[in-house]
Amino acid sequence: MNDNTLRQNVIFELEFQPSIDAANIGVAVDNGVVTLTGHVSTYAQKATAEKAVLCVKGVKGVAQEI
């Protein structure tokens, strides 16, 4: 899977999470490693975002910059 397709899948997964405002999260992908940027209101939302990303097929790792 290429990085652009993976990025779209990650964004879709984040938008599917009701406790996260995905509009405040930026997503970049480089060779399967997803970098999340932006801000969320709570640590729980940060953890939920990371957990959601790790569930996406093709993700090799997550770099948190939230």
Summarised one tens digit per residue, pLDDT across range 11-41 is 999 999 999 999 999 999 999 999 999 999 9
- Range(s) of the domain holding residue 23: 3-65
**What's the pLDDT at 1?**
86
Number of domains making up the chain: 1
Paired tokens of 37? 């940027």
What is the secondary structure of 4-23 as a DSSP string?
A: HHHHHHHHHHHHH-TT--GG
Mean pLDDT over 1-14 rounds to: 96
| The overall pTM is greater than 0.85 | yes
CA angle 30/54/18 to nearest 5° reads 115
CATH number at residue 17: 3.30.1340.30
CB contact at 8 A, 23 and 38: no
The residue behind tokens 């290429």 is: 2
